[in-house]
Amino acid sequence: MSDTKAFAAHDPTSKLVPFSFNRRDPRPNDVVIDILYCGVCHSDLHQVRDEWGGSIYPMVPGHEIVGRVTAIGGGVKKFKVGDLAGVGVLIDSCRKCNPCKEGLENYCVEGMTGTYNAYERDGKTLAQGGYSTMIVTDENYVLHISDKLDLKAVAPLLCAGITTYSPLRYVGVEPGMKVGVVGLGGLGHLGLKFAVSFGAEVSLITTSSSKEADALRLGAQHVVLSTDKAMMKKYDSYFDVLLNTLSANHAYSTYLRLLGLNGTMINVGLPNAAGEVQPFALLKNRRRMLGSGVGGIKETQEMLDYCAEKNIVADVEVIPMQQINEAYERMLKSDVRYRFVIDLKSLK
């Protein structure tokens, strides 16, 4: 058992505070990772504050983990001590169902095992995430990380990256398509970079006029201010694909109206309340809505390799662990450019 330093939430309303707990000794297929950086996802905040219901405490959040392998179990084949390694949103699944066999562990029939706020498959060990100094994970759920990229900027790829890459690939974004990214936060800015790299004409739809210059720098052709009715009208029925990353409750119809014939709105944002969808807003142009949750291990590796090849990483603001509570408040005000990443040196 290894003593692990961390920050944890103990209930939905208190701040995160220092915490320590034991990680298990490595089993034959386990990889022990010294965590170097962990991204701060809005899902961490939703779960810490129990906005989706059923949160389990004490909770060590964090599922955008990169670090270095310090030990391996006797049966490990894919990693050796000294390798860079990453852990994302899932650390296990049933491994038997059709989705698992197809590499879609994120859609496991029994439900994937989350990196935190979940019990492991023994039904009793509480999984704890990456706001901590180390993690022990089965090698089949650990990703290889290229040493070509800036490690701290790679961490957000493990959730924000795969969550946007996977559905953009699934709907077949390609040159000539018009893609609108709704919300420029952690997910949005990576979604924008991917859509640009796939050759699409990309626009940002935002509530923050202050993000216009950044969006253009990241490769957007147009920036649409969603609070400006005339501008939204101008883009009525314009897009083939919308990537909706909004973390706050909103009316989906506002954005559905921007889709042209056979347009698809991909919903990855997870506000806690049902948003309004007007039947007529869906019917016009034969529009559709699609949900998508992170991605499987195989596709996550594919995405990481793609990023290494194309030099795609997140724009990050590095913080010490001790600043996490302030970071959450800033994230709620859409004041992050564009992902907070915790430097775990601050806990060691």
Q: Which residues are near Zn ion by CB under 5 A?
A: 41, 43, 93-94, 97, 100, 108, 159
Comparison of 70 and 207: residue with beta carbon closer to ligand NAP: 207
CA 6 to chain centre: 21
Distance CA 121, CA 201 (A): 43
Cβ 41 to Zn ion shortest distance, Å: 3
The footprint of ligand NAP on residues 7-66 (CB under 6 A) is 41-43, 46
Cβ 42 to Zn ion shortest distance, Å: 7
Binds ligand NAP (CB under 6 A): choice among 86, 88, 180, 186: 186
Give the H or E element holding residue 32. strand 30-39
Number of residues that make up the chain:
348
The footprint of ligand NAP on residues 317-336 (CB under 6 A) is 331, 334, 336
Binds ligand NAP (CB under 6 A): choice among 94, 225, 231, 270: 270
CA atoms in the 13 A half-sphere facing the CB of 256: 20
The footprint of ligand NAP on residues 117-156 (CB under 6 A) is none
Comparison of 29 and 163: residue with beta carbon closer to ligand NAP: 163
Q: Looking at 159-167, 232-240, 252-260, 310-318, which segment touches ligand NAP (CB under 6 A)?
A: 159-167
Comparison of 43 and 128: residue with beta carbon closer to ligand NAP: 43
Distance CA 257, CA 238 (A): 9
**Hey, how many other C-beta atoms are within 10 angstroms of the C-beta on 210?**
11
Binds ligand NAP (CB under 6 A): choice among 60, 100, 154, 184: 184
Find the DSSP H helices in the chain: 42-48, 98-101, 151-154, 160-170, 186-197, 212-217, 229-234, 252-256, 279-283, 297-310, 324-332
Cβ 57 to ligand NAP shortest distance, Å: 19
Distance CA 238, CA 224 (A): 12
Closest CA to 59 of 14, 11, 22: 11
Q: Looking at 122-130, 147-155, 172-180, 243-251, which segment touches ligand NAP (CB under 6 A)?
A: 243-251
Q: Looking at 143-151, 203-211, 217-225, 253-261, which segment touches ligand NAP (CB under 6 A)?
A: 203-211
Binds ligand NAP (CB under 6 A): choice among 248, 282, 289, 319: 248
> Site mask, ligand NAP, residues 274-313, x = CB under 6 A?
------------------xxx-------------------
Q: Which long-range contacts (CB under 8 A, 24 or more apart) does 44-47 make?
A: 44/129, 45/328, 45/331, 45/332, 46/247, 46/270, 46/272, 47/116, 47/117
Distance CA 214, CA 229 (A): 22
Residues contributing to the site for ligand NAP (CB under 6 A): 41-43, 46, 159-160, 163, 183-188, 206-208, 211, 245-248, 250, 268-271, 292-294, 331, 334, 336
